Amino acid sequence: PRKSKTHPNPKLTPKQKRENRLISQVRVGIEHFIGQLKNFGALTIRFRNRLNKVSDQIILVVAGLCNLRNGYEVQ
């Protein structure tokens, strides 16, 4: 149920609450990972040339470094 003028405080079913909790847990993990990516200086500089392939590779390398720091194994 959505919030509206006729239903200002709709009640969620237990199933909807469980689904919201699962979604929020995944979202928080993703937001933390994006925050870690932003801590790397290579992602904060602006590329003046058209280096789409290079910037994609930099993002992949930084993501790999974050995964290693967080204890994920390389497969």
Helices (H) and strands (E) in the chain, counts: 2, 0
pLDDT tens string 50-62:
666 777 788 888 8
pTM of the model: 0.58
Q: For 2, which DSSP code?
A: -
| 1 located within any domain | no
Asked if residue 2 belongs to a domain, the reply is no
State the DSSP string of 22-38.
HHHHHHHHHHHHHHHHH
Task: Answer whether residue 35 is part of any domain.
Answer: yes
Can you tell me the distance from the alpha carbon of 63 to that of 61, in angstroms, rounded to the nearest whole number?
Answer: 5
Domain assignment present for 27 = yes
Q: How many domains does the chain have?
A: 1
User: Domain containing 62: what range?
Assistant: 14-69
Task: Determine if residue 46 is left, alpha or beta; phi over 0 gives left, psi from -120 to 50 gives alpha, anything else beta.
Answer: beta
Q: Give the pLDDT band of residue 48 (cuts 50, 70, 90).
A: low
